[in-house]
């Protein structure tokens, strides 16, 4: 199992989702991608939608005002 981190603070859609997609392309079952994001619609909508369609489990938590940590795990 490998864990990668991706900081996309300061980025806006669609660049947030594109960065997550690019980082997730070579992931294997059990691998994790931990994303730090400050763009509300990416954190609550577009990244979760990508995770669902691409076969990832997703945990998202707001770690401070306007900042999310999103953990994607490849199924």
**Confidence label for 48 from pLDDT (cuts 50, 70 and 90):** very high
Considering only the C-alpha atoms of the chain, give the largest distance between any 2 of them, rounded to a whole number of Å.
32
pTM for the predicted model, two decimal places: 0.94
Give the pLDDT score at 27: 96
Cα distance between residue 9 and residue 2, in whole Å: 22
pLDDT digits (tens, 9 = 90+) for 7-19: 999 999 899 999 9
Contact 44, 66 (CB under 8 A): no
Integer Cα distance of 58 and 15 in angstroms: 19
Neighbours of 41 (CB within 10 A): 13
Strand stretches in the chain, DSSP E:
3-7, 32-37, 56-64, 67-74
Average pLDDT over residues 28-44: 97
């Amino acid at each position: 199992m490998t864990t990668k981190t991706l900081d996309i603070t300061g980025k806006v859609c669609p660049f947030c989702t594109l960065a997550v997609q690019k980082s997730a392309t070579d992931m294997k079952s059990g691998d994790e991608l931990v994303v730090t994001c400050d763009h509300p619609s990416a954190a609550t909508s577009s990244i979760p939608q990508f995770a669902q369609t691409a076969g990832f489990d997703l945990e998202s938590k707001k770690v401070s005002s306007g900042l999310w940590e999103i953990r994607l795990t490849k199924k």
